[in-house]
């Protein structure tokens, strides 16, 4: 199979993961209430409180992954470093949104990881610590696609359902506006990974995307179940 064909096959695999993930998300209680126009303020605060723990860890596992790439993957290492630098302070937006939405900074900072976040973080660090962890591109595909495809619409729905100041929605708005550029970076990184790793890299990327999609959904299913 040519590199072009392998890239196309990888993208088809990722598309199937996304379709399954998005279809399953609407069954998660907090997302079902959001899409059904029934979200409560305390549920939005719970979502922010739980997402913070995952976002704090995100910059760390991306940095860990960058340090695990060897000389054969210098371009991927550079991309991971740039990505970590761009996102390592995103948790501050969540904290600000939480306070504007009526929560306290102490509550969001002291909240433990829920069961799903614990599982997601453990998996990310385990993979990021392995040599040349190209499979983590699948994880990034799922997380960046969430921002690119769903964060903006979710922010619009929350704004329509809850009486909140715009400053309570900046995390979702930011990712809805900026993650398209991150997806362009992902496409370039995917090409680099498949060119160098072939079918093995492709399989790892799709497999890791499927795992992270399930663990991310578990994180949303287990809000505040620490």
Q: Identify which of 126, 100, 111, 131 has the alpha carbon closest to the alpha carbon of residue 201.
A: 131
Query: pTM for the whole thing?
Result: 0.92
Tokens representing residue 36 in the block: 């059904």
Phi then psi dihedrals of residue 189, to 5 deg:
-65, -40
3-class secondary structure, 9: helix
pLDDT at 1: 78
Task: Write down all domains in the chain, each with its CATH number in brackets.
Answer: 3-221 (1.20.910.10)
Tokens representing residue 140 in the block: 């990034």
Q: Which residues of the chain register pLDDT less than 50?
A: none
Q: Identify which of 108, 90, 110 has the alpha carbon closest to the alpha carbon of residue 99.
A: 108
pLDDT tens profile 133-186: 999 999 999 998 998 899 999 999 999 999 999 999 999 998 888 766 667 788
pLDDT at 182: 66
| Cβ atoms of residues 209 and 190 within 8 Å | no
């Amino acid at each position: 199979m040519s590199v072009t064909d392998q890239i196309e096959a990888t993208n088809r695999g990722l598309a199937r993961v996304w379709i399954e993930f998005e279809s399953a998300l609407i069954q998660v209680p907090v997302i079902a209430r959001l899409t059904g126009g029934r979200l409560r303020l305390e549920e939005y605060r719970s979502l922010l409180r739980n997402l913070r723990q995952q976002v704090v860890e995100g910059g760390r596992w991306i940095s860990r992954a960058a340090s695990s790439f060897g000389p054969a993957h210098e371009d991927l290492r550079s991309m991971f470093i740039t990505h970590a630098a761009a996102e390592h302070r995103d948790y501050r937006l969540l904290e600000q949104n939480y306070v504007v939405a009526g929560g306290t900074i102490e509550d969001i900072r002291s909240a433990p990881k829920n069961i799903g976040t614990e599982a997601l973080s453990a998996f990310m660090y385990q993979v990021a610590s392995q040599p040349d962890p190209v499979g983590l591109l699948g994880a990034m595909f799922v997380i960046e696609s969430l921002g690119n495809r769903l964060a903006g619409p979710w922010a619009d729905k929350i704004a329509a359902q809850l009486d909140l100041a715009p400053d309570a929605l900046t995390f979702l708005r930011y990712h809805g506006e900026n993650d398209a550029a991150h997806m362009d970076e992902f496409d370039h990184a995917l090409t680099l990974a498949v060119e160098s790793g072939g079918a093995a890299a492709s399989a790892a990327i799709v497999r890791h995307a499927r795992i992270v999609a399930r663990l991310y959904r578990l994180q949303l299913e287990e809000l505040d179940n620490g």
